[in-house]
Structures are given as structure tokens and as C-alpha cells.
Amino acid sequence: MKKSAKSRAEEQFARIRNTEQDKKVLRDREKAENERAAHVARLRGLRLAKEAADKDAAAKAAAEAQAAKASRPRKTAAAPDADPTG
């Protein structure tokens, strides 16, 4: 039995409508994925910047400690045959 023109039109409209809904769902999904990727990239950038700053601070602290160690006067050992009491 043949379908009426009305039922064929309704089926075609339903297919078109579903396709448009599918496209909208895909656009929404892609938008959410892009937002998530941007958020992750931002966090990664912040983490890398913090790690670089921490590394620089550690290197600076080590250099200062080395400089402080080098600037301290060295203790010299007394000669064993020298009697400090006279």
C-alpha cells in the first residue's frame, strides 16, 4: 500500500528535524570539548609557570647558600707544636 503524501512529508520532516537536532547536539558537544580543552590548557600553563618560578627560586636559594658558605672565614687548624699558653 502506498503512503499518503502527508505521511511521506511528515517522515521527511522528522528526518530533517532529527538531523538538525543531531547537528545541534554535535555543536554543543564540540563547544563543551573546546571549553574543557581551553580550561586544561590554561591550568597547564599556570602549572608550568609555577614550576619554572619554583625552579628559579630554588636555584637562587642554592646560589645564595653557596655564596654565604664561601664568604664565611675558614677555620684554620692550630699547628700541633704551637702551644697557645706559652
Question: Per-residue confidence of the chain (86 residues) as pLDDT tens digits?
Answer: 678 888 988 888 888 888 888 889 889 999 999 999 999 999 999 999 999 999 999 999 999 999 888 887 767 666 566 666 65
In three state form, how does the secondary structure of the chain look?
CCCCHHHHHHHHHHHHHHHHHHHHHHHHHHHHHHHHHHHHHHHHHHHHHHHHHHHHHHHHHHHHHHHHHHHCCCCCCCCCCCCCCC
25: left (phi over 0), alpha (psi -120 to 50) or beta: alpha
Grid coordinates standing for 80? 700541633
Report how far residue 18's alpha carbon sits from residue 31's, in angstroms, rounded to the nearest whole number. 20
